[in-house]
Structure 1
Amino acid sequence: MKKSYALSLLAVLMTAGCSSAADEPLLSSQTQPAGHGQQPSAQPVETAVPETAEASDAAVAEPEVVAANLQVPWSIAKAGDILYLTERPGTIVKIEDGTVDRQEVQLAKELATASEAGLLGLVLDPDFAGSGLAYAYYTYTDSSGQFNRIVTLRHDNGIWNEEELLLDKLPSGSVHHGGRLALGPDGKLYATAGDAGDRDIAQDTGSLGGKILRLNTDGSVPEDNPFTDSYVYSYGHRNAQGLVWTGDGVLYASEHGQSSHDEVNEIEAGLNYGWPVIEGDEAREGMVTPLFTSGSDHTWAPSGMAYSEGVLYTAALRGTAILAFDLETGEEREAITGYGRIRDVMIDGDMLYFVSNNTDGRGNPQDGDDKLYRVPLPAL
């Protein structure tokens, strides 16, 4: 049995990093010109030189800082020993051999960054090391309004260029963009699309808002999707922001409720997850009740997810924690606290990586925020 260690000491050390602000971030800028994200802040991105303590069964492992001074980081990706992080203002940070490089992203449309918008999800193609191919989700503005889109990016000589449009005109507004991308074990590209503040579209299978979407990596509709000629994989979602599969191929998603009633769901093709008709532990025939919910008096604002040995690790923004959901026992606990708002989490081998989101306009940023951390899984 894997030993588990509480990290309550971290809350004492880093309480100032916590925030009870609303569950979604704000940015003051409205738009950024195509291909020109926000320039680096006065403090450059930098790595920390952590003090490494001897590991022991009695020790509490404190997360190490991998990179600091990040600008509203959103998604973590990894290829070999190299880490890549999207930043909502429109850049991608590369971390290799202790060197951190903020790289330009050339987009075909004018990036929108107001409120919760911006450069969001990123997933690297399995052949990224050879091809430089990645998939991205971003918000843009043009003469017809504001939308989200899914595109391919090509990484070459330290610059990311938008190459192919896979899916366009996803609903967008001041809130609820969804934005998470993930490649499934079936080789398909999955995306979370929020309801964009228009709650009724979540129940409309003719709309792509309030859904989990499934597409081929060339942008076409998979023939085995549950609705004919539709990208819709599941519906009735308010603002899902996390996607992860277990080793046996079961898909789970995290979802923001309305002020509370946050959810972790097991996702199956074609099912209705209830929003806005039901939420939290409410039930109705033909609609799915979540495996885990925050209840009516507590808010997680869950975002990115990772999985290991029967446990779903979920980043929580307003919950200011990494939550651990045990799929066997049904128990939920705070695995990591004391680092403020947490946007994404990723597991690589025996290490868990996570990024804070205290600079998103609803946090309480401390010196060096935002940061990428890592911690050994056995310490959790």
Structure 2
Amino acid sequence: MDTFVCVARVLGVALLVSGCTGSPEPGVVSPSPTASASAPSPGADPWDGPVTADVEVVAQELPVPWGMAPLPGERFLVTMRDDVTLAVVHPSGDVEPVAASGGVQELADQTVADGEGGLLGVAVDPEDTGPLFTVFLYRTGEQDNAVLRAELDLDGMVLRDLTTVLDGIPKSSNHNGGRIALGPDGYLYVATGDAGDTANAQDPESLGGKILRVTPDGEPAPGNPDEGSPVWSSGHRNVQGLGWDASGRMFASEFGQDQLDELNVIEPGGNYGWPEVEGPGEGGDQSGFTDPVAWWPTSEASPSGIAVTEEAVYLASLRGERLWRVPLLGEPSAVADGESQGFGEPHALLEGEFGRLRAVHAVPDGELYVLTNNTDGRGEPRTEDGRPVDDRLLRVRLTPPE
């Protein structure tokens, strides 16, 4: 696919700053004027100013894509939520389905695609070079959400040896979480939702409304806050984005309900406040809840997947139909007086250009890959010359201001 679109946008829209006392006003944080000496001063984002986003359509007509994981050779393994299928997308734009037999058939037999549920997240062991790859998948079943492990043979384009490694995650037609990722420590991180029952998020016995940390076999990982428990953090409504910076600092995106969506820095044992708090809460960390480092009105974000680069965190937004960029200025500290240290002013990219954005992945050369999600029942699928084009995998090259 050679379609190429050049989008030039000015990233300088001022946004409201939310306070941390009383009811927060819709908005996003700005850098603190008392940022530590190790961090650049506020406004020192080297990309502050007009940024050019060159967008290439790599592949299109993907049916409700949800998760993507990189493979060698600039390829991606993509999950299709409702069809319960997988495909390898090549840099040429070719979409090669994994055979609908063996492990894929087993997966389809136990997956229930209902509302926001179905075949969701995917992760591939980055140590594998092929043609055999260890793959982890997150699916919604009849009774629960579960994480499964399988072997992908790219020579035969088959999935086999499907094994459940973690089950019992609450399911519903919404708030299923679903993002999974292998962290820099080699353990598997699993983002779950509250499954529509807000009590799950604060219940230490429930796997819902949590970020979980487990071994590749699904056992609680060594060093978890509570030995023998897979729970890494709690108090989440619906996490769908996980990522780490070069220092190992962990980030997660979270859907709010009616007011504010969040970007959080995740600490082991942290409680992020749901359902008591949406966005920053009164009392901040003194309440026992950890405040987000950035937040937005739900109409401007509804963030799903995220990508973390050396210079920013990028959030793919569904309802907001844009790619948010939150600059990284240095080491963060707790939010104080309504302002976040170590983060620059968020800016929007691709606003309204490609509709709903589900996932984003950064590659070492600085490019971003973005999955659109307009065929999920909540978007407006695009057409060109009367032919459907959605959903699409986009390659985005960002050029900072000169």
Q: TM-score, normalised by structure 2?
A: 0.77
Q: Which position in structure 1 is the counterpart of 2:65?
A: 73
Q: Which position in structure 2 is the counterpart of 1:100?
A: 95
1:132 is displaced (CA, Å) by 2.6
Comparing 237-246 with 324-333, which one deviates more in the overlay? 324-333
Q: Does residue 89 of structure 2 align to residue 119 of structure 1?
A: no
| 8 A contact 1:111–1:140 mirrored in 2 | yes
CA-to-aligned-CA distance 1:198-253 (integer Å, 9 cap, x gap): 00110011110000000011211112100121000000000010001010000000
Structure 2: runs of 5 or more not aligned? 8-48, 101-105, 330-342, 384-388
| 8 A contact 1:183–1:189 mirrored in 2 | yes
1:63 is displaced (CA, Å) by 0.6
Aligned pair partner of 1:372 in 376, 387, 393:
393
CA-to-aligned-CA distance 1:262-312 (integer Å, 9 cap, x gap): 0000000001000001111223411011101114x7441101111122310
Structure 1: runs of 5 or more not aligned? 1-46
Task: Provide the C-alpha distance between the structure 2 equivalents of 1:266 and 1:148, rounded to a whole number of angstroms.
Answer: 25
Q: Which position in structure 1 is the counterpart of 2:208?
A: 209
CA-to-aligned-CA distance 1:325-352 (integer Å, 9 cap, x gap): 1232431110222110000000112211
Q: Does residue 341 of structure 2 align to residue 334 of structure 1?
A: no
| 8 A contact 2:121–2:178 mirrored in 1 | yes
| SS across alignment from 2:129 | helix
1:151 is displaced (CA, Å) by 0.8
Q: Which amino acid in the other structure matches residue 373 of structure 1?
A: L
Task: Provide the C-alpha distance between the structure 2 equivalents of 1:139 and 1:100, rounded to a whole number of angstroms.
Answer: 22
Q: Which position in structure 2 is the counterpart of 1:354?
A: 370
Correspondences of 1:202-351 after superposition (within 5 Å) = 202-284=201-283, 285-295=287-297, 298-328=299-329, 329-337=343-351, 338-348=353-363, 349-351=365-367
Q: 1:162 to 1:149 in 2, by over 3 A?
A: farther
| SS across alignment from 1:107 | helix
Task: Provide the C-alpha distance between the structure 1 equivalents of 2:300 and 2:5, rounded to a whole number of angstroms.
Answer: 34
| 8 A contact 2:220–2:229 mirrored in 1 | yes
| 8 A contact 2:279–2:295 mirrored in 1 | yes
Q: Which amino acid in the other structure matches residue 397 of structure 2?
A: P
| SS across alignment from 1:114 | coil
Aligned pair partner of 1:87 in 77, 80, 85:
80
Q: 1:187 to 1:237 in 2, by over 3 A?
A: same
Correspondences of 1:150-189 after superposition (within 5 Å) = 150-156=147-153, 157-189=156-188
1:49 is displaced (CA, Å) by 4.7
Task: Provide the C-alpha distance between the structure 1 equivalents of 2:344 and 2:5, rounded to a whole number of angstroms.
Answer: 36
Task: Provide the C-alpha distance between the structure 2 equivalents of 1:141 and 1:250, rounded to a whole number of angstroms.
Answer: 32
1:60 is displaced (CA, Å) by 4.0
Q: Which position in structure 2 is the counterpart of 1:63?
A: 55
Q: Which amino acid in the other structure matches residue 327 of structure 1?
A: L
Comparing 279-288 with 164-173, which one deviates more in the overlay? 279-288
Q: 1:59 to 1:320 in 2, by over 3 A?
A: closer
Q: Which position in structure 2 is the counterpart of 1:147?
A: 144
Q: Which position in structure 1 is the counterpart of 2:32?
A: none
Q: 1:211 to 1:131 in 2, by over 3 A?
A: farther
1:100 is displaced (CA, Å) by 1.7
Count of residue pairs brought into register by the alignment:
327
1:108 is displaced (CA, Å) by 7.4
Comparing 347-356 with 370-379, which one deviates more in the overlay? 370-379
Q: 1:51 to 1:241 in 2, by over 3 A?
A: closer
Q: Which amino acid in the other structure matches residue 120 of structure 2?
A: L
Q: Which amino acid in the other structure matches residue 66 of structure 1?
A: V
Task: Provide the C-alpha distance between the structure 2 equivalents of 1:186 and 1:62, rounded to a whole number of angstroms.
Answer: 34
CA-to-aligned-CA distance 1:76-125 (integer Å, 9 cap, x gap): 21122122111112111212252221224542752111100111111111
Task: Provide the C-alpha distance between the structure 2 equivalents of 1:306 and 1:138, rounded to a whole number of angstroms.
Answer: 19
| SS across alignment from 2:144 | strand
| 8 A contact 2:50–2:400 mirrored in 1 | no
| 8 A contact 1:306–1:346 mirrored in 2 | yes
1:185 is displaced (CA, Å) by 0.8
| SS across alignment from 1:112 | coil
| SS across alignment from 2:200 | helix
| 8 A contact 1:154–1:162 mirrored in 2 | yes
Task: Provide the C-alpha distance between the structure 2 equivalents of 1:127 and 1:300, rounded to a whole number of angstroms.
Answer: 33
Identical aligned residues as a percent: 39
Taking only aligned residues, the RMSD between alpha carbons, in angstroms, comes to: 2.2
| SS across alignment from 2:199 | helix
Task: Provide the C-alpha distance between the structure 2 equivalents of 1:319 and 1:301, rounded to a whole number of angstroms.
Answer: 6
| 8 A contact 1:125–1:133 mirrored in 2 | yes
| SS across alignment from 2:225 | coil
